[in-house]
Chain A
Amino acid sequence: MSATFRPVAINTFREAVRDRVLYNLVLFALLMIGAAVLVGGVSIGIEQLVIVNLGLSSISIFGLVIAIFIGVGLVYKEIEKRTLYSLLAKPIKRWEFLVGKYAGLLLTLLVNTAFMTLGLAAAFFYVGGRVARADIWILVAIYFILLELALVTALAMFFSCFSSPLLSTLYTLGIYLTGVFAADIRGIGDFTKNPAVLYLTRAIYYVVPNFHNFNAIATAAHGDPIPLALIGQNSLYALLYVTLLLIASAAVFSRRNLK
């Protein structure tokens, strides 16, 4: 595979850093410090559980906000500001540009998540946590969050190829929430016994990415094991979905007239 996308990825990461996207880490750090101090004072015996729950949820929410709000502008901003004109005059294919933008935001999310994980670890040890074998599931939960963010970023970028940031945000958020509740939506269809509703809810269940499966926060916080099959299944599922979304983005964007 061509490595032409690499400079685009690095530049996208640099833009995020210079636009102070990583400042959210300060907010996360404050949240963790506040929680650690507060939890230490009021909880009895469940400090680590609360900290891990709060930390993982924060990593997920902060990551989602970045993935959606930066993702929806990834392509749109380059077109609007016409920075893309000079770039596409270079020997770079449009799909390589898309892969570069995607990889750049993913790198940003990865770095952001890595720092948050360190923050969570610091808070965990502050409230008396000790390293145990079961803590590996916390890392798996963080891996699942990253898979979820990779999927959301691909969705946001797909919409960014043909839609405004506002609409792209609504579409991405809509699909994300539908995906979180995909199993419940399918349940509604089964419950009503109405064939039309049944087909519709089943279609939604199969088409919309199932984000519910990526949520292992509660399991990890309780130190319960996460099945290896689920790790493999989620990895494959995310890889497949991201690939499909990138192909769809390239198909839409490769013939788009940049007015």
Chain B
Amino acid sequence: MNAMSAPAIEIASLTKDYPVGFWRPKMKRSLDNLTFHVEQGEVFGFLGPNGAGKTTTMKLLIGLIFPTSGTARVRGRSIDDVGMHREIGYLPEQPYFYDYLTARELLDYYAQFHGFSAAERRERVTTFLERVGLTAAADVQLRKFSKGMLQRAGIAQAILHDPPVVILDEPMSGLDPIGRREIRDIMLDLKNQGRTVFFSTHILSDAEMLCDRVAVLAGGKLQGVGAPREIVTMKSQAMEILFELREGRALPADLAAQAAKIGPRHRVTVPVDSLYAALEKLRGAEAQILSVSPVHPTLEDYFFTLVGRSAPKRGVEEISR
């Protein structure tokens, strides 16, 4: 299979066990038989709570750790092949770089491993510093950088050699909304250039906004893969009713407990199979129904369902905030 037709990333039965404990260590499975692939040119989100195995997967792809069993390939090349690293750019989680270097020196240093001449390096470094908005800080030592600036320097070193596959571990973590937006824009830019972006995140709204497909990982096991919309439509299950009550009329007690009031209007969210019963009760209370609409579950709902925690309740809390 050649690099053009092969999937950008192909993971097959990848498993990683770690020894835990100093005295008579026991093996702990941090990644369990993981199998999925990332197509070329797609933005692929890797979701999961802390300890799910996201960083472990990425480290396995980069060769920072070694699999207990299973294989992985990037554009058809085995992860054991260091030459494959010409095809990837990698931003580690909470990146830390040589803080005695300036951003320009750091990028120049990394560019040397890709065989660019001194003139090419100078040009590339200037271009990519500008692209991530670090031109003004190009000659400042990294020890004086904020977290957001370090993250941008990290992105710059990852894409400096125009890799077809970019792997970003929690690129938005710890950033303020402006920083997150900047990173999002860079990722969209990479997608528009036809590159594959494989990134892990906790921020589900970012994944929902950016990703062509996502994979959800929990406890080292793959819980689901698909397009965000595809995933969430599988679970659509609630209806939202907007209504007004006449002066002096009260809601039935069970609905009153769930309803939220905004000015003269009330809003209540009920399960799909309880919709008609709820409407019947509202008719009994002579409520004026303004709208009935399906509640589309978000990726967040799906995520929480998969990882076995309850999502924050919608409706009452959201409106009363």
Contacts and interface: CB of A to CB of B under 8 A. Distances in A.
Contacts of A11: 98, 101, 109
B18, B64, B88, B100 — most chain A CB neighbours (10 Å):
B64
A86 B113 contact: no
A7 B112 contact: yes
A86 B100 CA distance: 16
Contacts of B96: 81-83
A14 B114 CA distance: 20
Contacts of B100: 14-15, 18-19
Interface stretch (A89-97, A163-171, A177-185, A209-217): A89-97
Contacts of A24: none
A229 to B, nearest CB: 42
B23 to A, nearest CB: 18
B134 to A, nearest CB: 16
A92 B113 contact: yes
Contact of A83 (B64, B86, B98, B112): B98
Interface stretch (A133-141, A149-157, A251-259): A251-259
Question: What 10 A-B pairs come out closest when comparing CB atoms?
Answer: A89-B90, A90-B113, A85-B92, A7-B112, A18-B100, A257-B65, A91-B85, A258-B64, A89-B62, A82-B96
A43 interface: no
Contacts of B65: 257-259
B59 interface: yes
Contacts of A18: 100
B83 interface: yes
A255 B63 CA distance: 10
B18, B88, B96, B114 — most chain A CB neighbours (10 Å):
B96
Interface string B93-104: 011111011000
A65 interface: no
A233 interface: no
A114 to B, nearest CB: 23
Contacts of B158: 86, 89
A87 B63 CA distance: 11
Interface residues of B, number: 31
B109 A93 contact: no
Given A91-B114, A255-B66, A259-B65, A86 B85 contact: no
Query: Contact residue range for chain A?
Result: 20 to 34
B145 interface: no
A4 interface: yes
Contacts of B18: 257, 259
Contact of A7 (B82, B92, B113, B154): B113
B154 A86 contact: yes
Contact of B113 (A14, A81, A91): A91
Interface string A1-36: 000101100010011001100000000000000000
A80 to B, nearest CB: 10
A84 B95 CA distance: 10
A86 B66 contact: no
A88 interface: yes
A252 to B, nearest CB: 14
A5 to B, nearest CB: 10
Contacts of A258: 59, 64-65
Given A15-B100, A258-B59, A258-B65, A90 B92 contact: no
Interface in A84-115: 84-93
A17 B66 CA distance: 35
Given A86-B90, A90-B113, A257 B98 contact: no
Contacts of A19: 100
A88 B65 CA distance: 11
A82 to B, nearest CB: 5
A213 B310 CA distance: 72
A91 B82 contact: yes
Contacts of A255: 66
A84 B92 CA distance: 10
A257 B97 contact: no
B97 A83 contact: yes
A19, A88, A92 — most chain B CB neighbours (10 Å):
A88
Contacts of B196: none
A86 B64 contact: no
A84 B89 CA distance: 14
B200 interface: no
A162 to B, nearest CB: 14
A180 B114 CA distance: 44
Given A255-B66, A257-B65, A90 B110 contact: yes
Given A89-B62, A91-B83, 7 more contacts: A85-B64, A86-B95, A86-B97, A86-B157, A90-B85, A91-B86, A92-B113
Contacts of A88: 62-64
A140 to B, nearest CB: 36
A6 B18 CA distance: 34
A85 B168 CA distance: 12
A172 to B, nearest CB: 23
Contacts of B91: 86
A88 B158 CA distance: 12
B13 to A, nearest CB: 19
Contact of A257 (B66, B83, B85): B66
B80 to A, nearest CB: 11
